[in-house]
Amino acid sequence: MKVILDLDTGIDDALALAYALAHPNLELIGVTSTYGNVTVEQGVRNTLALLELLGAPEVPVFLGSERPGFRVQPISAFIHGANGLGQVEIPAPRRGPAEATAVDFLVSSFARYGEDLTVIPTGPSTTIAAAMSSSPEFARQARIVMMGGVLTVPGNVSAWAEANVSQDPEASDAVFRQGGNITMVGLDVTLQTLLRANDTARWRRTETAAGRAYAEMADYYIRAYATTSPHLGGCGLHDPLAVAVAADPSLVTVFDTNLKCDTTGPTRGRTIGDETRLADPLKTAHVAIEVDAPRFVATFVDTLEEYFQA
Ligand code: RIB
Ligand code: CA
C-alpha cells in the first residue's frame, strides 16, 4: 500500500515516519509538512533530516500552508522540545523540499494511485482540507487515516478538544463533512498505546545513529508525559498508531458515524457525531474506539529495533 504522511514533525510524528519506512506492507511515497508541534519550516527541516538519518533520502517532502497567526504553543515546546525533536541534534539535511505544493502532491498522487493510496495526517487538518476543497474526487474517494480528535474521553488541550483538531477546527469540520472515507484514530485509542523507557532502551542498544537518536527523542517525550500525565506510565503513541491502523485496520474496533467538529462556542474543537446526518445510512467516518494495544506496541517496538539494526 502506498502512503503519504502529513506531519507536524514533533517526536511522535518522527516515530510515525520511521514506522512508515520500516513497515513491511507500506511504501512511503512522500511527506507533506504541516504546522502544529513546530512551524511548517521547522517541520520540513526535521522531516528531511530524519529521512537522511533513516536512510531514505529519496522520499520527497512538500510544504503545506500554515494557518495565519500560528505560534507554537508553550505546551508543544514542552512536550516535543523547542526543535520538535526533544532537543536531539540531527545532522542538517543536505537537500530542501520539493518544488510542488503539498496540495498538488496529494491530489496528483490520488489521481495516479486511487484506492492503492492512503493519506495519513498526524497534525492539524489545514492541508488536507485544502486538498479536498481543490479536488472533489480526492475528498469523496481518498482513504484518510488520521490521528486527531476524540469521541469517548476528554481532550488533551481542553475538556473537549484534541491538540491537532484544536489548531484548525474549521479545517477538521470541512474534512469530516466532505471526506468520504475517514478513519479517525483519536485519543480514545492512542492513549491506550504507551511507550516506556524499557522499550527505548532496546533501540539504544542497537548502537546505531538512528537507534540512539530515536531512543533519546522518545525518552524526552516519555519524561514530558511523566509530568503532564503521570497516571499513564508512558507516552502515547498517537501518530504511529495511525500508521499501524492504515496498514492493518484489524488492530482497532471502529464505530461508524458521520462526524463534525464544533467551530463556535465553548466546545470549539470538539469532534462529535453530526446530528443532521444521524439517520443517514451512509456513514463516512470510522472512529477507532478499541485497540489491541499489546499487539500494536510489541510489533511497533520490534519493527523499529530491526529497522535500526539493518
Ligand atoms: O494529540 C496528539 C497529537 O498532537 C499528535 O499528533 C502529536 O504529535 C501532537 O501534534
Ligand atoms: Ca503530530
- Measured from the Cα of 12, ligand 1's closest atom is 8
Which residues constitute the domain of residue 155?
A: 2-309
* Cβ-based neighbours of 283, under 8 Å, separated by 6 or more: 256, 257, 258
Going edge to edge, which strands form the sheet with 182-185?
Answer: 61-63, 27-33, 2-7, 117-121, 143-147, 182-185, 285-291, 252-257
Taking the chain (310 residues) in consecutive chunks of 10 residues, what is each chunk's mean pLDDT? Answer: 98 98 98 97 98 98 92 95 98 97 98 98 98 98 98 97 98 98 98 98 98 98 96 97 99 98 97 97 98 98 97
What is the distance between the terminal CA atoms of the chain, rounded to a whole angstrom?
Answer: 22
280 CA → ligand 2 middle, Å: 31
Q: Quote the cell numbers at residue 205.
A: 542498544
Ligand 1 touching residue 147 (CB < 6 A) = yes
pLDDT for the residue 306: 98
Helices (H), 11-151: 11-22, 40-53, 74-80, 102-113, 126-134, 136-141
**Three-state secondary-structure class, residue 254:** strand
Assess whether the C-beta atom of 123 lies below 6 angstroms from ligand 1: yes
Q: How far apart are CA 47 and CA 33, in angstroms?
A: 8
Query: To 5 degrees, how large is the angle CA 112–CA 260–CA 291?
Result: 75
In this structure, the number of other CB atoms found within 10 A of the CB of residue 277 comes to 18
The string of pLDDT tens digits covering residues 297-306 is 999 999 999 9
Per-position DSSP letters for 142-153, written without gaps between them: -EEEEE---SSS
C-alpha cell at 77: 515546546
What is the per-residue pLDDT for 65? 86
| Separation of CA 164 and ligand 1 centre (Å) | 6
The strand pair at 117-121 and 143-147 is best described as parallel
Residue 296: closest CA among 217, 239, 232, 233: 239
Q: 238 catalytic, yes or no?
A: yes
What grid cell was written down for 179? 471526506
Tally the domains of the chain. 1
For residue 39, how far is its CA from the centre of ligand 2 (angstroms)? 12
Domain containing residue 190: CATH number: 3.90.245.10
Please tell me if the CB atom of residue 36 comes closer than 6 angstroms to any atom of ligand 1.
yes
What is the reported pLDDT for 12?
A: 98
Q: What's the mean pLDDT when you consider all of the chain? A: 97
Q: Which three cell numbers stand for residue 60?
A: 520527497
pLDDT of residue 66: 87
Do the beta carbons of residue 130 and residue 35 sit within 8 Å?
A: no
pLDDT value, residue 216 = 98
Strands 235-236 and 194-195, sheet pairing: antiparallel
pLDDT 10s digits, 46-63? 999 999 999 999 999 999
pLDDT in tens, 4-46: 999 999 999 999 999 999 999 999 999 999 999 999 999 999 9
